[in-house]
Amino acid sequence: MNQFSTLDTLVFLFYFIVITGYGIWIYRRKKSTSGQASHDYFLAEGSLTWWAIGASLIASNISAEQFIGMSGSGFKIGMAIAVYELMAAATLIIVAVFFMPVYLKNRIYTMPQFLEQRYGKAVATTMALFWLGLYVVVNLTSILYLGALAISSVAGINVFACMIFLAVFAAVITLGGMKVIGYTDVIQVLCLVVGGLVTTWIALDLVAALGGKSGSMAGASELFVRAGEHFDMVLDRGNPNYMDLPGLTTLIGGMWIVNLNYWGCNQYITQRALGADLKTARKGLLFAAFLKLLMPVIVVLPGIAAFALDKSGMLGDSMRVGGELNPDRAYPTLLAMLPAGIKGIAFAALTAAVVASLAGKANSIATIFTLDIYKQHFNKTATEQKQVWVGRLTVVVSIAAAALIAPFLGIDKKGGFAFIQEYTGFVSPGILAMFLLGFFWKKTTHAAAMFATIGGLVLSIILKFLPGMMDLSFLAPIGFAVDNGTGVYEIPFLDRMFIVFWVVVAGMVLISKTAAVSGEAKRMIVDTHMFRVEKSFAVGSAVICALLIAVYGAWW
């Protein structure tokens, strides 16, 4: 394995200087043209272009859990795990058409603000506190710790030192506000895509060498021969990974709940578009959807290549720790095999992904705390400058807190991608149901929203532990329960979300129809004209849908 060379260090330093310098330049250039200080800091109101919005969405979404976790899943499961990325492309189109018009028409800047306008302060405050806890304890910690682990494994630097470096780097970018994050994310995405594609190309070239050939295209052909079973896009019930990706549920069931909640009801994501006009926001989301189609090549294909290389014995014991196979070592192992200079580019791509995600998440934490907690409950007359100051303090405190608690959560043992999905999955169905009915059904009440908030969580927990209390084997014939290997039948994670979502929707409808209407519940401004799209957007959306159909048609 090649060590981190002087050339790699110089390449990485060049990336670091470019990002830092560009961020400072953007901050100074935009400062003189700022509108309201708080809205400019938290939302970059009106100053982000469509390409900056799209790039920032992807930079914020792709982090260590994708590079490390998705590559690990590619090694273990195969291309089927790419459904998270491919369905996200379709979801972004839906969010652009149906969610963004509602947010922008009603001048929504934070997700708790929407809940307050629609359902009242009790629901909004409850969810604001929940999101803050989730973002700090689950998201920030996993991004920071997994990123540090990945960088440590490549550069040979102490994990804690890597965490400090990432935390400080992200904090500096975040303190400049949303406009600095948005525009530096363009360079971050460029590094991410170029570095990721270079890693994939070299991994495929290594696979080609197994058959006495060279080149990425020859490597792709060789990979189909050596790991053909890893290209099944929809797993059948006999597949050992069915519990993670339960067949058609990935296309018509719970996966939609995962994606619609993440891309449509998540401050961390929607914040990039909330400061723009509808036309610009939609173009940005469409651009992000096209970039999403590249992600399986960047984060999943290297894992499948590592599987073929390991199967041939070329990786030796690199994939094993203490003699036990660890799929999450797939991407770091490939990075360690890259030649000098190229490794620096790939290292910069990984760092870019981590820092961009940290910065975006920290800015969302600051936005929710400042606008929905501090201003609403502690200082309603806070000046614009005071709000910005509180936001910056929140950034520092949240990142510092995440760095302190991350090593004690056992994130590396659980697997970062699974860590995030498990804990957010307990509440995603209730949140999505609350948003969708709040958008499109005017009779939804405050009590129904509270039921979605609490009832959805409780029901998710019950279904999680139900296999220990009763035999669920009767659900196996229809694919809603799988033997976990010990004779206990469990409901797959995505199926649990699907069940909880529809139970919560039914409960909300029943409560709204029978309970007294609260004065706090108000309609959103919604009309059919809001959902009309431009011809160029429709054409772009059609292209994405056609590509998705082609992929699943070819590798079903």
Phi, psi angle pair for 145, to nearest 5°: -70, -45
Q: Are 110 and 354 in contact (CB under 8 A)?
A: no
Query: What is the total residue count of the chain?
Result: 556
Tokens of 401: 């807190």
Residue 543 has pLDDT above 60, yes or no: yes
| 266 or 77, greater pLDDT | 77
pLDDT classification of 306: cutoffs 50, 70, 90: very high
Q: Give the whole-angstrom CA distance, residue 9 versus residue 331.
A: 19
φ/ψ bin of 177: left (φ > 0), alpha (ψ from -120 to 50), beta (otherwise): left
Nearest to 56 by CA among 361, 441, 495, 375: 361
pLDDT of residue 38: 57
pLDDT for position 520: 57
Say if CB 364 and CB 135 are below 8 A apart.
yes
Give residue 35's pLDDT.
46
Q: Assess whether pLDDT exceeds 50 at residue 529.
A: yes
Q: Is the pLDDT confidence value at 282 over 90?
A: yes
User: What's the mean pLDDT when you consider all of the chain?
Assistant: 83
Alpha carbon distance, N-terminus to C-terminus of the chain:
36
Could you report the per-residue pLDDT of 223-257, keeping only the tens digit for each? 999 988 899 888 888 888 888 888 888 888 889 99
Q: Which of 127-131, 172-176, 365-369 has the lowest mean pLDDT?
A: 172-176
Residue 338 Ramachandran class (φ > 0 left, ψ -120 to 50 alpha, else beta): beta
What is the predicted pLDDT for the residue at 179? 67
Burial class (CB in 10 A: 0-12, 13-18, 19+), 478: exposed
Q: Under DSSP, is residue 468 helix (H, G, I), strand (E, B) or coil?
A: helix
The answer to whether 328 and 68 have CB atoms below 8 angstroms apart is yes
- The alpha-helical segments, DSSP class H, found in 211-277 are 216-226, 249-252, 254-264, 267-274
pLDDT at 362 over 80: yes
Residue 522: its pLDDT value, please?
A: 66
The proportion of the chain whose per-residue pLDDT surpasses 90, expressed as a percent, equals 21
Rounded Cα distance between 200 and 217, Å, is 11
Longest dimension (CA), the chain: 74
The DSSP element (H or E) to which 320 belongs, if any, is strand 320-321
337 three-state secondary structure? coil
The tens digit of pLDDT for each residue in 388-437 reads 888 888 888 998 888 888 777 766 555 555 556 666 778 889 999 999 99
Distance CA 500, CA 163 (A): 37
**Looking at residue 476, what DSSP letter applies?**
G
H helices of 62-177, in order, are: 64, 71-76, 83-94, 100-105, 111-119, 121-134, 141-155, 159-175
Instruction: State both tokens at 60.
Output: 């914020």
CA-to-CA dists, residue 1 to 64, 148, 339, 456, angstroms? 21, 20, 9, 48
Given a cut of 90, is residue 58 above it in pLDDT? no
Per DSSP, what are the bridge partners of residue 320? 325
Instruction: Write b or e for each residue in 427-457: b if 16 or more Cβ atoms lie within 10 A of its Cβ, otherwise e.
Output: bbbbbbbbbbbbbeeeebbbbbbbbbbebbb
**Joined tokens for residue 35:** 């509108």
How does strand 482-483 pair with strand 489-490? antiparallel
Helical H segments across 406-492, by residue range:
411-414, 416-425, 428-440, 446-465
| Residue 433 contacts residue 504 (beta carbons within 8 Å) | yes
- Residue 89, pLDDT score: 95
For residue 1, with 0-12 CB atoms within 10 Å meaning exposed, 13-18 middle and 19 or more buried, which class applies?
exposed
Residue with the two structure tokens 């050939």: 213
Residue type, 15: Y
Please report which confidence band the pLDDT of residue 91 belongs to, taking 50, 70 and 90 as the band edges: very high
Stated as kind and residue range, the H or E segment containing 549 is: helix 535-555
**Measured torsion, CA atoms of residues 218, 224, 230, 232, in degrees rounded to the nearest 10:** 120
Region 191-213: mean pLDDT is 87
> 85 pLDDT band (50/70/90 cuts)?
very high
Q: Amino acid identity, residue 337?
A: M
Chain centroid to Cα 487, Å, comes to: 33
Name, in order, each residue with C-beta under 8 angstroms of 161's C-beta and a sequence gap of 6 or more: none
Q: How far is CA 178 from the centre of its chain?
A: 18
Average pLDDT over residues 114-134: 85
Q: In the numeric block, which tokens belong to residue 493?
A: 């994670």
Token pair 């999955």 is found at 425
CA distance 40 to 460: 38
Instruction: Give the SS3 label for residue 304.
Output: helix
Rounded Cα distance, 488 and 84, in Å: 27
pLDDT at 1: 47
Identify the CA nearest to 26 among candidates 57, 49, 59, 60. 49
Three-class SS state of 227: coil
* 5-50 pLDDT per residue, tens: 788 888 888 888 888 787 777 777 665 555 445 555 565 555 678 8
